[in-house]
Amino acid sequence: MIGVGDKGVNVSAPAAPRIRPLSLDHAVQLHSSRQVVTVTDAVIALLKNSLDAGAGRVEIAVDLARGSCSIDDDGSGILPDDFCNLARAHCTSKNIDGETCGSKGTDLSSIAALSLLKISSLHGQHELPCTLVLHRGRMVQMLCPDASSSLESCGTRVSVSDLCGNMPVRVKQRDVALSGRGAETAWRELKYRIVSLLLASPRLCVVNVRDGTRTFTLGSSFPLTQRNLLHRGHKANLKDKLPVVFQASFAQNRPDWIPVRASAGGLSVQGLLCLKPAPTKQCQFISIGVRPCLPSTHGNLFDIVNKTVANSSFGVDLEEESAGRKSVDRWPMFVIRLQLGRRSSEESVQEAAADLLEATVRQWLVAHHFQPRKKRSRVEPEGPAPDRVNFRGECSRIRAGAQSRPSKHLIESASADVVCSECKTVKQPSSEFGSIDEAELLRAADEAEGRTDGSMNWTNPVTREGFQVNSRTGAVLMMRKRDDIRNGDTVKRMSSTRLMKCSDQTDKVPPKFIQDWQNPVFACPAEQPIQALQGPDAKVTKHDCLGEGILSDTLRISKAQLSQSRVINQVDGKFILCSVPCVAETLLILVDQHAASERIILEDLLSELHSPATESIFSNTGHTSAVKAHIPTNPPLFKLTSKELALFARHASYFAKWGITYDLSEVIKIRSLPVGIAERCLANPRILRDLLRAEAWTAEEGGNTSCPTRIREMLCSRACRSAIMFNDLLNKEECTALISRLARCDLPFVCAHGRVSVVPVVRV
C-alpha cells in the first residue's frame, strides 16, 4: 500500500493472503484418515506387509474398543539400513509390477500418522533386531540395534496403540459402532477380510487372531513345515486355501465344492463353487490377482454372480407348496479369482471380466442341471457374428451356445475351459424352470385365443366401433390380426428384435377416447399460478386462496371424505359405488371390495400382533413373550446345526419381542407363537422352520428391527385368503359396514399387497 504525505512516500507491506495451504501435519492427517478408518483397516494393512514378507505364521491381537492391535510374523524381516525410510509416505521396498498385496507405500505411513506405532524387526542376516517408535507421524525413538528387544527369531513385530485417538469424532463413532451387536459385527467383518486376503494371496500362511476371550485360527490343510513352504509357497491353488473358509465357519462339506476354470484372451477365471446354497452372502469371495475384492468396492462383480444364480433353479425348494419358490438357503457360496494379463489394468478390462465371469457361472449352472434362464441376446450389427467363448468339461461335453456376448475385442476369438473335476449325478430340479421353448409359447397362445373366457362383444353407441370385453375382469381385449410366424412345421427361435420386426404393421390402434383417457389415480396435480401484484399502485390485500384449484383438474379423495361417503350400491359383484360430498359438488368413487376387506383384516391382525401378553410364557433362554401368543399343545421340535443353535441363542430376545419363544438344547422346541400365524405354522412345521431360520439370519446381519418380514407376509396372505372375494354379493347394509370400517383404517387406499382400493370416477 502506497500513500503520499507531507514527509514523503509511505510504503506498507501487502496484506497476507486469506487463503493459505494447510500445514504439513494437518494435510498428512487428512490423507491418512481416509486410508485407515477402523482397527480392521490397520490389521489388514499390516497383514498385507506380513504376507509380502513371506510369513508362514502370523499372530494377531486386537482390541477393537481401545483402537489397538499388534501383529507378530516370521517373515524375512527388515534390514537395518531400511529403517531410515520406514513408515514414510510413498516409500516402499516392493516392486510395483510384482504380485504383492501393496506397493504404494501409504498404509504404514497412514497408520503412523494416526497412532502410536512401534516396529521391531530382525532380519535373517543380522543377530540383533532394530526398533522404531513413532507418535502421530513423528519419530520418538530409533534403536539400531536394539539389545533390549525381546524379539529373538527372524520376523517383524508391529504394535498400534490409540488409533485415531486425536480425532474425537472417530473415538465417539467407534464407541457407538461397538455398542450392542456392533462388536459381533465388527469381529465378523475382521474375520471376513482376513479370509479374503488369505484366499487371494498366492502363499500359504497360518493366521491366529485373538480378541479378549474370542479367538480363531486360519491355516492350510497340511502342516506348514519349512519344506512345504519352500516347495509350495508360489504354487498354492484355491484347493489348498479352501480349508480357510471352513475354519472361519463360513461353510462346510468340502465334497460339495466344484472347481471351475475359464480363460479368454488375456483374462482367466479360476474358482470353486458350492453345490449347496446358503442363507446369507457371507461365504462369497472374489479377488483380482492378489488383491481381494469387497462387496462395498466391487459390488458389480458380486451382483453378476448372484443375479445369474438367482435366475436359475439353484436354491429352489422342490418340497415347497408353491412350485419354483426359493428356499431360505438361496445364496451361492463361491471363491473366485480373476487373473488379468500383465499389461492389462483392472479399469480397462472391467466389462470384459464381468462378461467372462457371467459366462463361467452360467455354464457351471448348466453343467449341474440348475437350468439358468436364457439370456436375451443384444441387438447385433449385420455381418459375421464374433466367435463365442467356448466351454468344455473334462467329464462331459457342454454346449455353450450363445450364452454371453463379450463386449470387448479382448475376448473375441478366444476359448475357455471349464473344469469340473468332481462332476457327479445331482438331483435335478424342475426342468421347466427358466427356458421354455417358443413353440410351446405359441401353442399356448393359440389355445388361449381359442378360449372364450366369458368374453362378450360390445359396440360403442357413440363411435359404432365393436370391442370384445372380458366378462370376468371387464378388460377391453385388443382385436388384431395374428401373423403366422411359422415357416412350415419348423419354428425358428427369434430374438426380441426380430420378433418386433415381424409384428403386424397394420394393427388397429385403440379408439381415440381410450388413448386420451388418463387414469385419475396417477394424475399429477395441476401447477397453479403464483399470486402476484401488478402495477405501481398495487396494495397488499388478504385473499382466501387456500384450496383454490385443488380439485380443478384431478380427482382426489381424503380419508376424512371417505368417512363421510354414502353407499349407492354394489356394482358387478366386485365394486362398491359411493358418493363423496365435496365443497360444491359430489364425487363418485369405486371401492374394490376385495382390497377393502383385505386391508381391514390385515390391520386387525397387526393390531392383534402388537397387543400385550395376557400371560407369562418363559423359556430356558430367559425370555418371555412380549405380545399375546398362542401356546401349542404339541410343541414342534426342529433339529438345527450347532451354528444355528448358537444363532437362536443370541437372538432369543428379538423373537420373544414378537411372540416367539423356544427352549434350546440339542434341538429347538417352540413354546409360543403369534396368534395370527400359529394355526398355519402348526399345520405345516416346514413353514415355521423356514421362518425362524430366515429371520434369525436377517437379525444376525443387522437387518430388520421392526416386524419380521416373513410374519408380515404370512399375515398378508391370511388377510387375502380370508377377505371378501369378487362375485360375493353384498347388500347395502354390508357395503355400508365395509366402507365404515375401511375409513377407520390407517391406510385405507391400498390393500395388503399395495394395490389401489379406492378410485375416483367422476364429478356429479
Mean local confidence (pLDDT), 528-549? 43
Share of the chain above pLDDT 90, in %: 15
Q: What is the mean pLDDT of the chain?
A: 76
Does the structure show a pLDDT above 70 at 530?
Answer: no
Q: Which CATH architecture has domain 253-376+387-431?
A: 2-Layer Sandwich (3.30)
DSSP 8-state secondary structure symbol assigned to residue 663: E
pLDDT at 618: 77
pLDDT range class, residue 220, cuts 50, 70, 90: low
Question: Over the stretch 233-263, which tens digit does the pLDDT of each residue have?
Answer: 445 677 778 888 888 888 877 788 999 999 8
Report in angstroms the alpha-carbon separations of 105 from 111, 118, 240, 743: 11, 17, 30, 67
CA distance 317 to 311: 14
Which of 140-154, 594-608, 677-691 shows the lowest mean pLDDT across its residues?
140-154
pLDDT at 190: 92
Question: Over the stretch 52-78, which tens digit does the pLDDT of each residue have?
Answer: 888 889 999 999 888 899 999 988 888
Does the structure show a pLDDT above 60 at 481?
Answer: no
pLDDT at 742: 92
The fold for domain 24-191 equals: Heat Shock Protein 90 (3.30.565)
Supply 560's cell numbers. 376424512
Report in angstroms the alpha-carbon separations of 745 from 602, 607, 656, 739: 10, 11, 27, 10
pLDDT at 89: 78
Residue 272's H or E segment, with its range, is: strand 267-274
Question: Over the stretch 154-202, which tens digit does the pLDDT of each residue have?
Answer: 889 999 998 888 888 888 888 888 887 788 888 889 999 999 999 988 8
Q: What are residue 239's phi and psi, to 5 degrees?
A: -60, -40
Whether residue 619 contacts residue 671, with contact meaning beta carbons closer than 8 Å, is answered with yes
CA distance 314 to 362: 11
> Between 582 and 554, where is the model more confident?
582
Whether residue 121 contacts residue 129, with contact meaning beta carbons closer than 8 Å, is answered with yes
Does the structure show a pLDDT above 60 at 657?
Answer: yes
**Domain boundaries 557-764, CATH class:** alpha beta
Whether residue 682 contacts residue 673, with contact meaning beta carbons closer than 8 Å, is answered with yes
- 201 class by beta-carbon count within 10 Å (0-12 exposed, 13-18 middle, 19+ buried): buried
Question: Over the stretch 95-145, which tens digit does the pLDDT of each residue have?
Answer: 666 677 766 778 888 888 889 999 998 887 888 888 999 998 888 888 888
pLDDT at 651: 87
- 196 class by beta-carbon count within 10 Å (0-12 exposed, 13-18 middle, 19+ buried): buried
pLDDT at 763: 82
Which of 366-370, 518-522, 605-609, 611-615 shows the lowest mean pLDDT across its residues?
518-522
pLDDT range class, residue 508, cuts 50, 70, 90: low
Share of the chain above pLDDT 70, in %: 70
pLDDT at 158: 92
Quote the distance between the C-alpha of residue 380 and its chain's center: 32
Q: Residues 212-225, buried b or exposed e (16+ Cβ, 10 A)?
A: eeeebebbbeeeee
Whether residue 719 contacts residue 601, with contact meaning beta carbons closer than 8 Å, is answered with yes
Residue 602's H or E segment, with its range, is: helix 593-609
- Counted residue by residue, the chain has a size of 764
pLDDT at 124: 76
Number of Cβ within 10 Å of residue 310's Cβ equals 16
CA proximity to 750, closest of 568, 562, 611, 564: 562
pLDDT at 521: 55
Which of 391-395, 709-713, 723-727 shows the lowest mean pLDDT across its residues?
391-395
Mean local confidence (pLDDT), 701-705? 69
Supply 615's cell numbers. 400371560
Name the β-bridge partners of 159.
Answer: 70, 118
pLDDT at 267: 86
Helices (H), 610-665: 642-650, 652-657
Most confident of 174-178, 282-286, 438-442, 494-498: 282-286
Question: Over the stretch 603-624, which tens digit does the pLDDT of each residue have?
Answer: 999 998 888 887 777 788 888 8
> Between 541 and 523, where is the model more confident?
523
Q: Is the peptide bond before 581 cis (omega within 30 degrees of 0)?
A: no
pLDDT at 492: 43
CA distance 86 to 687: 60
Mean local confidence (pLDDT), 347-367? 84
CA distance 613 to 625: 7
Q: What are residue 27's phi and psi, to 5 degrees?
A: -65, -40
Enumerate the domain spans of the chain: 24-191, 253-376+387-431, 557-764
Which of 3-17, 53-67, 275-289, 554-568 shows the lowest mean pLDDT across its residues?
3-17
Mean local confidence (pLDDT), 288-305? 89
pLDDT at 635: 87
Q: What are residue 412's phi and psi, to 5 degrees?
A: -65, 145
Model confidence pTM above 0.85: no
- 168 class by beta-carbon count within 10 Å (0-12 exposed, 13-18 middle, 19+ buried): exposed
Does the structure show a pLDDT above 50 at 396?
Answer: no
Supply 351's cell numbers. 466389462
Q: Which amino acid is at 421?
A: S
Residue 31's H or E segment, with its range, is: helix 24-35
